[in-house]
């Protein structure tokens, strides 16, 4: 089966240009903090995925159905209401880490954080690393 066409794909948009356009300024500052944290934890340079997701690393998947594709290994999107933080693809139960993170909401493969002062960034680092390790046990994770 041919590779699927994911809605969100890697782009050539500059991460720095994107971060420079984030508003309001407080959200932009927090996005810069997240970028530095993701770079440090992952060791990967960021790449834009779609118009607003900053991704670190990627993985290629192939399901039993034959569907296959590429997607970001981890990353975030600085949204107006909350930062969306992507821990892909959500196989593991990270309840123990999340219980220490601070104020957040959960989605299927992401969590939502209104402001960074609501969470413990050291715990977020631990969560990012745990997510990458779990993802790597299912699919090889590589830099872009």
pLDDT band (50, 70, 90) for residue 47:
very high
Q: Are 44 and 37 in contact (CB under 8 A)?
A: no
What 66-70 contacts at long range (C-beta under 8 Å, 24+ apart), as own/partner pairs, is 66/1, 67/1, 67/4, 68/1, 68/3, 68/4, 69/3, 69/4, 69/5, 69/6, 70/3, 70/6, 70/9, 70/10
Q: Looking at the predicted structure, is the pLDDT value of residue 105 above 50?
A: yes
List the structure tokens of 125.
């680092």
- CA 51 vs. chain centroid, Å, equals 14
pTM over 0.85: yes
Ordered by start, the domain boundaries in the chain are 15-136
**pLDDT (mean) for 94-101:** 94
Q: State the chain's mean pLDDT as an integer.
A: 92
10 secondary structure, DSSP code? B
C-alpha distance from residue 106 to each of 27, 85, 102, 129 (Å): 20, 10, 12, 18
Mean pLDDT over residues 97-110, rounded?
92
* Assigned architecture for domain 15-136: Alpha-Beta Complex (3.90)
Residue 87 in tokens = 């821990």
For 48-88, what is each residue's pLDDT tens digit? 999 999 999 999 988 888 888 899 999 999 998 999 999 87
* Rounded Cα–Cα distance for residues 68 and 79 (Å): 28
């Amino acid at each position: 089966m041919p590779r699927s066409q994911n809605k969100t794909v890697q782009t050539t948009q500059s991460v720095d240009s994107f971060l420079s356009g984030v508003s309001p300024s407080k959200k932009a500052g927090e996005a810069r903090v997240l970028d530095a944290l993701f770079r440090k934890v992952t060791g990967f340079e960021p790449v834009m995925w779609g118009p607003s997701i900053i991704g670190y690393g990627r993985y290629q998947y192939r399901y039993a159905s034959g569907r296959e594709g590429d997607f970001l290994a981890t990353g975030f999107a600085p949204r107006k209401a909350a930062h969306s933080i992507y821990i892909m693809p959500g196989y593991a139960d990270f309840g123990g880490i999340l219980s220490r993170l601070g104020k957040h909401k959960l989605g299927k493969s992401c969590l939502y954080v209104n402001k960074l002062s609501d969470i413990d960034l050291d715990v977020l680092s631990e969560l990012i690393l745990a997510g990458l390790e779990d993802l790597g046990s299912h699919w090889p994770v590589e830099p872009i």
